[in-house]
């Protein structure tokens, strides 16, 4: 795993689910590079602590899942702020969640 390979995978993911950087002072390539480097450094630290690849993968999956929950909460707050909470409820129902 290298920052460049992670950046490339992130770009592939973002090609189908683009992120909006319009109001930010950081561009998407810089943001990708920052996060990819951070993940690779974290992987190196976990490896240095003696964690095997499967254990490091589990930690990375937990970080990704935590980040997805955080992202969901931010989006719910955004939808509430603009009066579109029903959009989130409809999304949850499509996936068999909620009421």
The pLDDT tens digits of the residues spanning 20-75 come to 888 889 988 899 999 999 999 999 999 999 999 999 999 999 999 999 889 888 88
The total of other beta-carbon atoms located within 10 Å of residue 7's CB is 19
Domain boundaries, the chain: 1-50, 54-99
Predicted TM-score (pTM) above 0.75: no
- What is the structure's pLDDT at 88? 74
- What is the structure's pLDDT at 45? 96
Residue 57 CA to residue 35 CA, distance in Å, equals 16
- What is the structure's pLDDT at 53? 94
Say if residues 56 and 44 touch (Cβ distance below 8 Å).
no
99 pLDDT tier (thresholds 50, 70, 90)? low
- Residue 91, token pair as written in the block: 């999304």
Provide the H-helix boundaries in 1-99: 3-16, 28-48, 53-81, 85-94
- Residue 6, token pair as written in the block: 């992670």
- What is the structure's pLDDT at 23? 84
> Which run of H or E residues covers position 98?
none
């Amino acid at each position: 795993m290298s920052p460049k390979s992670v950046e490339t995978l992130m770009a592939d993911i973002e090609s189908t689910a683009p992120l909006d950087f319009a109001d930010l002072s950081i561009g998407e390539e810089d943001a990708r590079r920052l996060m990819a480097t951070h993940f690779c450094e974290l992987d190196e630290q976990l490896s240095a602590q003696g964690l095997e690849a499967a254990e490091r993968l589990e930690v990375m999956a937990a970080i990704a899942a935590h980040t997805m929950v955080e992202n969901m909460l931010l989006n719910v707050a955004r939808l509430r702020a603009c009066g579109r909470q029903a959009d989130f409820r409809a999304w949850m129902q499509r996936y068999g969640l909620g009421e």
